[in-house]
Amino acid sequence: MDALRQTALDARARAHAPFSHFLVGAAVETVDGRIFGGCNVENSSYGLTMCAERTAIFRAVSEGAKRFTRIAVVADTEKLTPPCGACRQVLWDLCGDLEIILFNLQGASESFRLADLLPRAFDATFLD
């Protein structure tokens, strides 16, 4: 297994999901090969919960990363779990059309581009 997937698995093990018990891990890779992991962190209000994908990308940006190639997302579900709408928007704004790799603990995986999940995305070009 490559380092990106392993980092996502390691992040998943640190997830804080006492309410849903839905543990998710993510890892984003920069153009220079650095990898940053993140996990979901729940809050009792749910609305203040932070998803694994946003945790990983915000961590990377906070460490100075600016350009990304791919992100891996892992959950223990039979059906592979894609990023939610909020994560898709943040990924588009901060990463552009990066590769998304979904996988589960049983070994199933799928890879595609963010543009496939977020056609006609809203971004800063609409604010000019």
Report residue 123's pLDDT band, with 50, 70 and 90 as the boundaries.
Answer: confident
What integer pLDDT is reported at residue 1 of this predicted model?
A: 59
Write out pLDDT tens, residues 2-61.
999 999 999 999 999 999 999 999 999 999 999 999 999 999 998 899 999 999 999 999
Distance, in Å, from the CA atom of 112 to the CA atom of 90, rounded to the nearest integer, reads: 17
Query: Domain 3-127 belongs to what architecture?
Result: 3-Layer(aba) Sandwich (3.40)
Write out pLDDT tens, residues 92-121.
999 999 999 999 999 999 999 999 999 888
Q: Which residues form the catalytic set?
A: 53
Residue 102: Cβ-neighbour burial (10 angstroms; 0-12, 13-18, 19+): buried
The domain limits of the chain are 3-127
* pTM exceeds 0.85, yes or no: yes
